Amino acid sequence: MQETKEKTGLNPSWIVVAAGVSVALHVGKLPPAVAVLQRELGMSLLQAGFLLSTVQVAGMLLGLAVGLGADRWGLRRSMLWGLALVGFSSMLGAAATGFAGLLGLRALEGLGFLLVAMPGPGLIRRNVSPRELGARMGWWGTYMPLGSALGLLLGPWVLQAASWQSWWLLLGAASLCAGLAVWRWVPADPQAASRSAVADADLGWRPRLALTLRSPGPWLVGLSFAVYSGQWMGVIGFLPAMYAQAGMDAKLAGMLTALVAAANMVGNIASGRLLQHGWAARRSLQTGFVLMGLSALLAYVQLDGQPLAPLWLRFVAVMVFSAAGGLIPGTLFTSAVHLAPSQNTVSTTVGFMQQWSCVGQFAGPPAVAAVATAMGGWQWTWAVTGCMCVLGGLLALAVQRQWSRDR
């Protein structure tokens, strides 16, 4: 590791964070392109909702399996395969001529995303000292909002200057470059013999799977992540389309949406500091859910067909929605470590939580789109997010109760 630091001037963990950002760009690349894809490929709003969420199908189906197997496959090897899959799928997507083809390639991007996201924490832990781990994991927690924000910010400029196909090709190339950086500067996985020795000392995958699924902790953090991620993706994913319907310039809409996504980083970083200063998990989670529910209400509710608040205040409300929501994932990652049924099931618990996060991200955008289509506008979006926040608040109580019981 020291040799790597001298060659690059960076700890390899920063390369890992950058790789995470490179795949999160593919989550943020679609919202600015929704209107263009609807026009050029003839997609409906509901189809656009599924296109937004299909990148999460792999995580929804395979998160637990990847969590079980990443250590055996090799963390670095998993990340390299994931970056290659995302990069090539995005480049092939540029040649898509219809909804079905683009949808299938988005599913492959989702698989690649999962192969990158799951080994990230383990690779960071491998390359930093225990003293640095907490701070670096806080930065890892920002890879999704940072990548999404960059995609939302840069997308309108590329789309206006070139085409959506060029946007897909550019981001595919970015992921492949990230793969080259990981291959060049992140230390190789331990030799197979060493990994085998570790595996022999550990529980097999069947006992770990059974123990995880029998325990309440993984279910609580997983369901909590689902109700958070579903509403966050449902709101952020359609912001550019909402702004476009309001007649806003595409570049300005992209910049404002990027600011909203980036605000989520504030909550992610703050959550770790709050927990270090004695905040209970329940307090952080409930604060996040309550503020998300109230800010969505202010941003979307209408009286007599008119918005309750002026445009600037609605934008502030959506910023609060995203920033307060950032308290939730950071708290849940910490909770997952504590609520894993054993030290041998931490990765499995994180994988299970990631799987539920993907379920939420898959279901959230179509739910918001379906309500908007049925009601003829976005004014009832707050009802979707409000239901999720109520459930999240109840789950926060259960998370804290289980955490206290396990101490």
The yes-or-no verdict on residue 162 having pLDDT over 50 is yes
Coil, strand or helix at 307:
strand
Two tokens, residue 181? 């950086």
Nearest to 228 by CA among 335, 337, 149, 341: 335
Assess contact for 122 and 12: CB atoms under 8 A.
no
What is the CATH T-level fold of the domain 8-406, as seen in this structure? Growth Hormone; Chain: A; (1.20.1250)
What the block records as the tokens of 210 is: 């059974």
316-363 pLDDT, tens digit per residue, is: 999 999 999 999 987 887 788 778 887 667 777 878 888 898 889 888
pLDDT at 76 over 60: yes
**What whole-number distance in Å separates Cα of residue 371 and Cα of residue 369?**
6
The per-residue pLDDT for range 187-219, each reduced to its tens digit, is 998 775 344 435 444 557 788 788 889 999 999
Q: Which of 126, 391, 138, 134 is nearest to 285 (CA)?
A: 391
Question: CB neighbours (10 Å) of residue 162?
Answer: 12
Contacting residues for 7 by C-beta, under 8 A, at least 6 apart: 185
Residues in the chain: 407
pTM across the whole model: 0.76
Q: pLDDT band for position 131 (50/70/90)?
A: low
Instruction: State mean pLDDT over 290-314.
Output: 87
Residues 6+ positions from 146 with CB-CB distance below 8 Å: 21, 24, 262, 265
Q: Which of 15-24, 204-213, 309-318 has the lowest mean pLDDT?
A: 204-213
Question: Looking up tokens 């593919």, which residue turns up?
Answer: 26
Collapse the DSSP code of 98 into the 3-class scheme (helix H, G, I; strand E, B; otherwise coil) and give the result: coil
* Annotated domain spans of the chain: 8-406
Which residue in 102, 79, 105 sits closest to 176, CA to CA?
A: 79
pLDDT digits (tens, 9 = 90+) for 52-73: 777 777 777 877 777 777 666 7
